């Protein structure tokens, strides 16, 4: 991955993906995806199950290699990690307390003790976990565990946050609450986010820019901007007449792909 | 109102049932001892084979006073501890490394599978041949017994760790050592503890056998020499002491498990 300054129409480009292909044996998972993601954008990728969106995120996070194509990142400040990932489902360590889980990234990169204490304390406070710092994951609800996962990623202070359907396992009420909290903590310093979801509602609620992917093999079907101003209120947003229109529009795009994925 | 009264009665009943169960559990061995004592006193059973509990207690006091019991107990425990360390520590490391590394697992797994089914007691003559009648042969016997369950369980423990945790480690740039320390070891610990418990039991069996055949000290030797001199009471003292060692070991390991694995949901 090369450094340097990338630009696209004036805004600084944080992630530039060019002609990315990914094959697993004979299976063609991703085919010729090219996107620019501007600095500070909440970028959402939505697509039918099995369209390769998780694979794309894992490539960005260094957990998979590309078959062909390039991924470039804008030059970063030294010492800060480029990515932190929030995984789908339960991914916090059951053998660590909430505090130790949140501190994991900082510990792995050898941050000084005082910095770890201050940063973790701050993020537990922001995610409402301070009271639970000494508890183990099995003592928490699913929503609380996913808060820990968010705190772990944010406390690592990466340049880019990668989120792989972090709320898909939660019930509707918890999902709404956590979406609002994610927006609240994200809006404090607006890091670049790449967020994967299969939920159109979630994409429109959270994203600045949405990419709809085709069914396997995954390609870019549409890119669109979400016009809602920030800060957003997750509930009020649903009142906005434009909300229904955008969701409807995306569903129109997605419908054919979902049909195709089922065949 | 009635609902509250109902749960109250249910709770009271449950406590009463628990107290009753505990009384039965304490009562059954006492009842057995009393029946045994009576049967022996009344000569319903052959006291040459089943001496009365009271005479066993008398033998216990005598062996304790002469120092015979404590000396033998101490030497047996020493062999157990050294054997446990000699077998357990390499088993732990090898087991975890096998869980992490495919090539090493492919290399070592057939060796373990091939030698595991050999009854450990059957290699005692070979061990005596190699290590002689000194302390080392007894320690090695315990070590061999402890090695297999810990190594096998440690490997299984690492292999059952959810792959997402390894992805998390990788994505947070955990190195080899950090992955071992923060993911593989704690993730495999519940399985490892099961292996440690099994190993402790096997170690106790093997030390008793090894001391009967190839030693001049230890609880196993005490039981064997009691047979040779036909002092059946002393034999029962030895059996009783081994039972106590096993019982205390189990309690201790359960406590250790609770301390090492506080994150496991209580069941």
Gap between the Cα atoms of A180 and A193, Å rounded = 15
What sign does the dihedral B166-B172-B173-B175 (CA atoms) show?
negative
Give B-chain residues touching A96 at CB under 8 angstroms. 182, 186, 263
- Note the pLDDT of residue A50: 79
Cβ distance A93 to B182 less than 8 Å, yes or no, reads: yes
A133 neighbors A86 (Cβ within 8 angstroms): no
Is B251 part of any domain? yes
Structure tokens, A45: 């990728």
The answer for A 145-204 residues in CB contact with B (under 8 A) is: 156
Chain A interface, mutation test: which of B162, B164, B167, B171, most A Cβ atoms within 10 Å? B171
Give CA–CA dist B254/A141, Å, rounded. 28
Classify residue B44: in a domain, yes or no.
no
Distances, alpha carbon A89 to alpha carbons A41, A141, A165, A169, B66, in Å: 24, 12, 8, 6, 65
- Does residue B65 lie in a domain region? no
Going edge to edge, which strands form the sheet with A209-213? A83-86, A160-164, A192-197, A42-46, A209-213, A220-225
Report the alpha-carbon distance of residue A1 to residue B254 in Å, rounded: 51
Residues of A in contact with B267 (CB under 8 A): none
Choose the closest CB to B168 out of A91, A95, A109. Answer: A91
Closest residue on chain A to B174 (Cα): A108
The SS3 assignment for A4 reads: coil
- Is there a contact between B188 and B154 (Cβ–Cβ < 8 Å)? yes
Asked if A95 lies within 8 A of B189 by C-beta distance, the reply is yes
Asked if residue A8 lies in contact with residue A38, where contact means CB atoms within 8 angstroms, the answer is yes
Minimal Cα–Cα distance from B172 to chain A, Å?
5
Q: What is the mean pLDDT of residues B224-242?
A: 91
Mean pLDDT on B120-138: 92
Given an 8 Å threshold on Cβ–Cβ distance, is B172 in contact with A63?
no
**In whole numbers, what is the pLDDT of chain B averaged over residues?**
90
Percentage of chain B beyond pLDDT 90 is 75
pLDDT band for position B267 (cuts 50, 70, 90): very low
Please indicate whether, in this complex, the C-beta atoms of B168 and A136 are within 8 angstroms of each other. Answer: no
Three-state DSSP state, A132: helix
Q: What are phi and psi of A259, to 5 degrees?
A: -55, -45
Number of Cα atoms under 13 Å in the Cβ half of residue A153: 30
Contacts of A28 (CB under 8 A, 6+ apart): A21, A216, A217
Query: And the tokens for B186?
Result: 């704690």
pLDDT tens-place string over residues B5-48 = 445 567 788 888 888 888 888 888 899 999 999 999 999 999 88
Q: Does pLDDT of B67 surpass 70?
A: yes
For residue B184, tell me if it sits in a domain: yes
ipTM of this complex = 0.89
pLDDT tens over chain A, length 263 residues: 444 456 655 578 889 999 999 998 888 889 999 999 999 999 999 988 878 899 999 999 999 999 999 998 887 667 788 899 999 989 999 999 999 999 999 999 999 999 999 999 999 999 999 999 999 999 999 999 999 999 999 999 999 999 999 999 889 998 999 999 999 999 988 999 999 999 999 999 999 999 999 888 888 888 999 999 999 999 899 889 999 999 999 998 888 888 877 76
Which of A83, A93, A158 is the best substitution to test chain B (most B C-beta atoms within 10 A)?
A93
pLDDT of res. A255: 86
Write out the residue range of the structural domain in which residue B206 sits.
Answer: 73-265
Query: CATH number of the domain that B125 lies in?
Result: 1.10.3720.10
Q: Residue B71 and residue B238: Cα distance in Å, rounded?
A: 12
Q: Quick count: other Cβ atoms within 10 Å of Cβ A209? A: 18
- Judged by CB atoms closer than 8 Å, whether chains meet at B167 and A87 is answered as yes
Number of folded domains that form chain B: 1
CA distance A228 to A42: 12
DSSP characters for A79-141? TS-SEEEE-SS--S-TTS-HHHHHTHHHHHTT--HHHHHHHHHHHHHHTT-GGGTT--GGGS-
Q: Which residue of B has its CA nearest to A103?
A: B172
At B83-118, the pLDDT tens digits run 999 999 999 999 999 998 899 999 999 999 999 999
- Residue reference for tokens 């039991």: B201
CA distance A213 to chain B (A): 24
Residue A87 has its nearest CB partner, among B164, B189, B265, at B164
Kindly report the number of other CB atoms within 10 A of residue A261's CB atom: 16
Nearest CA in chain B to A96: B263
What gap in Å lies between CA B188 and CA B150, rounded to an integer?
11
Looking at beta carbons, which residues of chain B come within 8 Å of A108?
169, 172-174, 178, 182
Structural domain contains residue B189: yes
In a domain, B244, yes or no: yes
Residue B15 lies inside a defined structural domain of this protein: no
Q: Is A86 helix (H, G, I), strand (E, B) or coil?
A: strand
Query: What is the value of pTM for the model shown?
Result: 0.81
Q: Report if residue B45 sits inside a domain.
A: no
Nearest beta carbon to residue A138 from set B168, B169, B265: B265
**Radius of gyration in angstroms for the set of CA atoms belonging to chain B, rounded to a whole number:** 24
Q: Which residues of B touch A (CB under 8 A)?
A: 164-165, 167-174, 178, 182-183, 186-187, 189, 261-265
A245 vs B4: CA distance, rounded Å: 54
Q: How far apart are CA B15 and CA B21, in angstroms?
A: 10
């Amino acid at each position: 991955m090369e450094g340097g300054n990338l630009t696209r129409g004036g805004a600084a480009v944080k992630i530039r993906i060019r002609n990315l292909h990914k094959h697993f044996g004979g299976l063609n998972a991703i085919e010729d995806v090219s996107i620019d993601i501007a600095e500070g954008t909440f970028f959402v990728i939505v697509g039918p199950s099995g369209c390769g969106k998780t694979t794309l995120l894992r490539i960005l996070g260094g957990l998979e290699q590309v078959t062909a194509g390039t991924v470039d990142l804008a030059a970063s400040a030294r010492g800060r990690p480029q990515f932190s990932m929030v995984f789908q489902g339960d991914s916090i360590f059951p053998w660590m307390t909430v505090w130790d889980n949140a501190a994991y990234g900082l510990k792995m990169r050898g941050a000084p003790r005082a910095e770890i204490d201050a940063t973790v304390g701050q993020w537990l406070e922001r995610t409402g976990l301070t009271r639970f710092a000494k508890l183990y994951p099995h003592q928490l609800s699913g929503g609380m565990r996913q808060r820990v996962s968010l705190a772990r990623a944010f406390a690592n202070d990466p340049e880019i946050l990668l989120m792989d359907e972090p709320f898909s396992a939660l019930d509707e009420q918890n999902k709404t609450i956590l979406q609002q909290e994610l927006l609240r903590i994200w809006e404090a310093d607006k890091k670049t986010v790449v967020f994967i979801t299969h939920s159109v509602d979630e994409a429109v609620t959270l994203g600045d820019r949405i990419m709809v992917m085709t069914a396997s093999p995954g390609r870019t079907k549409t890119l669109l901007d979400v016009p809602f101003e920030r800060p957003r209120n997750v509930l009020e947003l649903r009142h906005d007449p434009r909300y229904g229109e955008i969701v409807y529009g995306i569903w129109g795009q997605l419908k054919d792909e979902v049909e195709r994925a089922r065949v | 109102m009635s609902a509250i009264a109902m749960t109250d009665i249910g709770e009271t009943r449950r406590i009463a049932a628990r107290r009753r169960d505990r009384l039965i559990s304490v009562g059954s061995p006492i009842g057995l001892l009393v029946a045994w004592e009576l049967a022996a006193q009344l000569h319903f059973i052959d006291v040459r084979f089943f001496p009365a509990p009271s005479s066993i207690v008398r033998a216990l006091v005598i062996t304790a006073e002469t120092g015979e019991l404590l000396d033998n107990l101490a030497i047996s425990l020493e062999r157990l501890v050294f054997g446990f360390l000699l077998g357990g520590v390499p088993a732990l490391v090898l087991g975890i490394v096998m869980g992490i590394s495919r090539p090493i697992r492919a290399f070592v797994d057939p060796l373990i599978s091939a030698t595991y089914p050999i009854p450990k007691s059957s290699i005692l003559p070979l061990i005596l041949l190699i290590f002689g009648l000194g302390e080392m042969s007894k320690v090695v016997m315990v070590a061999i017994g402890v090695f297999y369950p810990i190594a096998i369980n440690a490997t299984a423990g690492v292999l059952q760790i959810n792959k997402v945790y390894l992805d998390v480690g990788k994505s947070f740039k955990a190195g080899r050592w950090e992955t071992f320390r923060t993911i593989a070891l704690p993730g495999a610990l519940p399985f490892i503890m099961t292996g440690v418990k099994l190993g402790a039991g096997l170690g106790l069996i093997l030390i008793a056998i090894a001391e009967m055949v190839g030693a001049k000290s230890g609880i196993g030797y005490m039981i064997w020499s009691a047979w040779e001199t036909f002092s059946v009471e002393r034999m029962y003292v030895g059996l009783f002491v081994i039972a106590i060692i096993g019982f205390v070991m189990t309690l201790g390991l359960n406590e250790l498990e609770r301390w090492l694995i506080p994150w496991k949901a209580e069941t």
